[in-house]
Structures are given as C-alpha cells and as structure tokens.
Amino acid sequence: MTSRLREALRDTAEDAPVYPVYERALATARRTRRRNWGAAALVLVLVALAVTVVPVGSAPSVDPADGVAGALPDRIGLPPIGALHVTDRPRLGPAAVLFSGHRSDEDETIGVVGADSDRYRILRMGADSPAGETVLLSPDGRYIARSADDPERPGVDVIDLVTGRTRHVESTSEHVTFAYPAGWAPDGRHIAVVDMVFADAQQSSLRSVLSVVSLDGRERTRVQEAAQQPIFAHPVAFTPAGDRLAYQIGNTVWVTARDGTRLSSFALPYESTLAGKGAWTPDGRWLTLATRRVNSSEWHLRRVDPLTGRDAGTLDLPAVSDVTTIRLLGWGPDGSALVVGLTPNPLSPTRFDQPLEIDQRTSYGSVRGVRVLALSPGAAEPRTVLTAPNQIRAVDVAGGVVESGHVREASSPGWLGGWFVYSTMLIILLWAGIAAYRRRRQLAFWFERRAGLSVEHGR
C-alpha cells in the first residue's frame, strides 16, 4: 500500500461518524429493563383488579346499619349455576326468603333471596336441612341459623348476611352429639336451640334439651328436657313480645316463660299441630293450631287458650286443601295469615288423609313442592303470594317481611351466577396480563414510537 493511499484511507476514517457502542448498549439495557418493569407492573395491576372484583369471604371491620324488612318475591327459582355463597362479596344484606329441597353433589343446597331484589346466594349443608325447620332466617332477615359445620364443636352457627361473619354459638350441655336451631326470638338476639345429648355412658340413647341462648353466648336458659322420642316438632313459636314460647313434643304443647318457668301444657286435639313459628296471634292472647278435618286433606287454623288448651273455634280464614300440611309463618297487617302449603308427592305411597306424624308430612319424600298462601279474613279461597318450582320443598320467610305485607313482582334468577361471571373476568384479565408480558418488547417499541411521533408533531 502506497503512502498516498494510506493517507487517503486515514482521512476517510477520520471523517466517518463514530458509533457510540457503549452509550447505545447502556440505553438498550435501560429500555429493556423499563419494558420488563412496565409489563410486570401491568400484570400486577390486572391481578389486583381481578382480586378486587372477584368476591372474597373476609368481613369489613365495622358493622353496617341494620337492614330493612323488604318485600316477599311473588316467585322464586333455583339458584343459578355458579351462585355466590352467602358470605361472598358483594354482601347480600338482609334476606326475604330461605328455601331448600334440591340437592347438588349429594349435599343440601340452601337458597337465599335478597329482601329487596332478585339476588340469590347459596349455603351448603352436609345433610337434609329443611328451611324453616333446622335452617332458620331471623325476623329481620339479617341472620341465618344452622347446625355447626364442625362435629367436634357441636352448636349453632349464625351467619350475618350484612357483614359475612359467622358466629359460633357453642352448646354448653355435656355429652352433646348434635345441635340445631329451633326458633328465633323477635328481638333477633336470642335463639332457641335443641341439643341432642347422650342419655347414658354407653351412648345407647339420646335425649333432647331445649334452651334459649343469646347470640353472644352469655345467656343460656334451659327450658325443657325430653327423651329422644317423641320428637320436638319444628319450630318453636315466640310471642310477639318475646316473653313466652310455645313448642310441641309429640302430641303435647308446652308453654313456658322466657326464663324457663313452665306455665302450662295441654294435649293436642285429633290431627292437630302447633301451627308454626307464627302460632301466637299478634296480641299474644291465643295460640294457633293447624287442624285437619277427618278423612280429608283440608287444613284449617284454630285458636286455643295457651293456658288451658280450650278450643276457641276455627278462625274466619279459608281452608287449605290438597296439601300434606301447612305451616303458619305469621300475620300480615290486614289480619291475613301467611302459611306455607306443602303439596303432596304423587309418587309417595303415604296417604295424607290419614293420621301421620308431622315429620312424615314434611319430609322431602312426601312433598312435591311448596306455595306461600295468604289466608285473608272472610275470603273464600287462599291467595297464592309466592310460587316455586317443584324441586323446592321447604321455605322460610323473614318475620319482618311477613308483617310488612309487601309483595313484589320478582324475576327469574337466570342461569349464570356471580362466580361464573367473576371467574370469566378473572380468566380474561390473567390472559391479558400474560399476553402483555409475552409481547412486552413489541408494546415497549409501540409506546416509544408513539412517544417519538408525539415529539415530532410537537415540533
């Protein structure tokens, strides 16, 4: 190579632009780190949003105000697929109706309907637990009482539908094997509980112990003790003032004071039962019995004196026919009696115009469906105020809803519940986060290009 060529090459190299290798490498590393951090932040935001949207079971730190009475829906349906649990967010709040009878995965599913809207929730039970008998809705619709989940801690669980909290009311009787709620006091702060207790050391037999317990567990009054047979009929009926309660053991009605003092007992007439949780008349003067006419499936409501059992005659209310029995939920403001009529299962071998124990009349195998009926004074026929599909075989209504007399037009709950919707949203959000992370470089390049174009347009 000649010296002239060498000088020409040197001059050309000196005039060529210098490529900043180190600076460009450092800038590229910084961009990559920013892209990775941005993608990770986006994924975290999406996941946080999903967790916020999807309901969880934790409860707020403070209790909201008490709920209102609400209204009775004129129809109910089966809970939708993926229905939320009673403790899920968003909270249901006070309920108007509990229902049961349909089974899912060999478990009893209790349905719950909101007091003022067609929002449905579910409560899983491990065995048959008829609504209105062993799963009870409080008078204000805020609480559900049920047998405790944990067999090692027998007692009653009380679920707050406003806060989502579950309070365990532990049995204090010795050798308790099982316990269930039997009735709510009107104040909603006390509950009647039946403990099934082993009667001997060999655990060969049981006896029933009825107590009135406060929800905080500080007050407990033992009311009655009886052998396992004859059974306690469900539920216990409190006077509107809450100072007395009536309950049925076999064919005998007992009336006691709130402190456990026994006031009276009397034998029931032929084919009669204590009418239900609304058995006391609104003034607390009379008890109401559900009575079946001889050789018929027609049921009437009759009044009796709670101290003597003296028959005060049939009430001027329409009879209910073609049912296995009726349960009195309470009294409306116009004097109407609101009752649950249990329609018979046509496949049942039992004849319901014959004498039967009350538990045979209300068992799922004997019942095809339920209706809630209003028996108005002087009316010729009952008026149906709530209908349900045949899979529903037991129902309970909040006392406040009964007393309000309000009935609202209800809509079908639909096929898909909240968990299905929220799960779908969660899946979409997670997939969006994954896609954003996998395409983080393209997204970062797109953002940089957009920023560059913005700068050029700004100039």
Region of poorest pLDDT, from 160-169, 222-231, 268-277, 307-316? 222-231
Q: How confident is the model at residue 134 (pLDDT cuts 50, 70, 90)?
A: very high
Pairwise CA distance, residues 129 & 150, whole Å: 16
CA dist list (Å): 47 to 404, 422, 429: 44, 13, 7
Same domain, 226 and 245: yes
Identify the pLDDT of residue 82. 85
What is the average per-residue pLDDT within 351-360?
A: 88
Q: What is the pLDDT of residues 6-52, one digit of tens each?
A: 676 666 656 555 545 555 555 555 665 665 555 555 545 544 444 44
> Which two structure tokens, joined as six digits, stand for 186?
């009107």
What is the average per-residue pLDDT within 339-367?
A: 91
Same domain, 298 and 248: no
Contact 314, 301 (CB under 8 A): yes
Same domain, 284 and 400: yes
Contact 418, 55 (CB under 8 A): yes
Task: For residue 75, tell me if it sits in a domain.
Answer: no
Same domain, 158 and 253: yes
Task: Give SS3 for 28.
Answer: helix
Nearest Cα residue to 151 out of 193, 194, 110, 180: 180
Identify the pLDDT of residue 294. 80
Same domain, 304 and 232: no
Pairing between strand 107-114 and 120-125? antiparallel
Number of CB atoms found within 10 A of residue 6's CB: 10
Same domain, 284 and 397: yes
Q: 207, 234, 267: which is the final residue of a domain?
A: 267
Task: For residue 71, tell me if it sits in a domain.
Answer: no
Contact 88, 121 (CB under 8 A): yes
The residue segments making up the domain with residue 391 are 270-405
Q: 236, 267, 298: which is the final residue of a domain?
A: 267
Question: Total domain count for the chain?
Answer: 2
Identify the pLDDT of residue 66. 42
Q: 372, 405, 438: which is the final residue of a domain?
A: 405
With the CA atoms of 154, 156, 160 and 166 taken in that order, what torsion angle do they form, in degrees rounded to the nearest 10? -10
Task: For residue 347, tell me if it sits in a domain.
Answer: yes
Same domain, 193 and 254: yes
- Judge whether residue 405 has pLDDT over 60: yes
Confidence (pTM): 0.80
- DSSP secondary structure letter of residue 148: -
Task: Find all residues with CB under 8 Å of 432, minimum gap 6, and list them.
Answer: 46
Q: pLDDT averaged over the chain? A: 83
Nearest Cα residue to 421 out of 162, 165, 164, 120: 120
- Judge whether residue 179 has pLDDT over 50: yes
Task: For residue 177, tell me if it sits in a domain.
Answer: yes
Task: For residue 429, tell me if it sits in a domain.
Answer: no
Identify the pLDDT of residue 441. 66
Pairwise CA distance, residues 177 & 301, whole Å: 36
Task: For residue 155, tell me if it sits in a domain.
Answer: yes
**HEC string of the chain?**
CCHHHHHHHHHHHHHCCCCCHHHHHHHHHHHHHHHHHHHHHHHHHHHHHHHHHCCCCCCCCCCCCCCCCCCEECECCCCCECCEECCCCCCCCCEEEEEECCEECCEEEEEEEECCCCCEEEEEECCCCCECCCEEECCCCCEEEEECCCCCCCEEEEEECCCCCEEEEECCCCCEEEEEEEEECCCCCEEEEEEEEECCCCCCCEEEEEEEEECCCCCEEEEEEEECCCCECCCCEECCCCCEEEEEECCEEEEEECCCCEEEEEECCCCEEECCCCCECCCCCCEEEEEECCCCCCEEEEEECCCCCCEEEECCCCCECCCCEEEEEEECCCCCEEEEEEEECCCCCCCCCCCCCHHHHHCHHHEEEEEEEEECCCCCCCEEEEECCCCCCEEEECHHHHHHCCEECCCCCCCECHHHHHHHHHHHHHHHHHHHHHCHHHHHHHHHHHHHHHHHHHC
DSSP-assigned states of every residue in 367-404: EEEEEEEEE-TT-SS-EEEEE--TT--EEEE-HHHHHH
- CATH code, domain carrying 263: 2.130.10.10
Same domain, 348 and 303: yes
What angle do the packed helices 440-458 and 418-438 form, to 10 degrees? 70
Identify the pLDDT of residue 145. 97
Task: Give SS3 for 230.
Answer: coil
Region of poorest pLDDT, from 119-128, 158-167, 197-206, 213-222? 197-206
Identify the pLDDT of residue 355. 87
Identify the pLDDT of residue 439. 67
Contact 388, 76 (CB under 8 A): yes
Task: Find all residues with CB under 8 Å of 71, minimum gap 6, and list them.
Answer: 96, 115, 116, 401, 404, 406, 407, 408
With the CA atoms of 338, 137, 269 and 208 taken in that order, what torsion angle do they form, in degrees rounded to the nearest 10? 180
Same domain, 246 and 135: yes
Identify the pLDDT of residue 146. 96
Task: For residue 109, tell me if it sits in a domain.
Answer: no
- Judge whether residue 193 has pLDDT over 90: yes
Nearest Cα residue to 291 out of 263, 328, 266: 328
Same domain, 192 and 319: no
Pairwise CA distance, residues 31 & 222, whole Å: 75
- Judge whether residue 171 has pLDDT over 60: yes
Give the position of tokens 């009379």. Answer: 286
Identify the pLDDT of residue 458. 52
Same domain, 284 and 362: yes
Same domain, 346 and 307: yes
Number of CB atoms found within 10 A of residue 427's CB: 11
Nearest Cα residue to 328 out of 355, 360, 288, 292: 288
Q: What percent of the chain has pLDDT over 70?
A: 74
What is the average per-residue pLDDT within 138-142?
A: 97
- Judge whether residue 114 has pLDDT over 50: yes
Q: What is the pLDDT of residues 261-280, one digit of tens each?
A: 999 999 999 889 999 999 99
Task: For residue 315, tell me if it sits in a domain.
Answer: yes
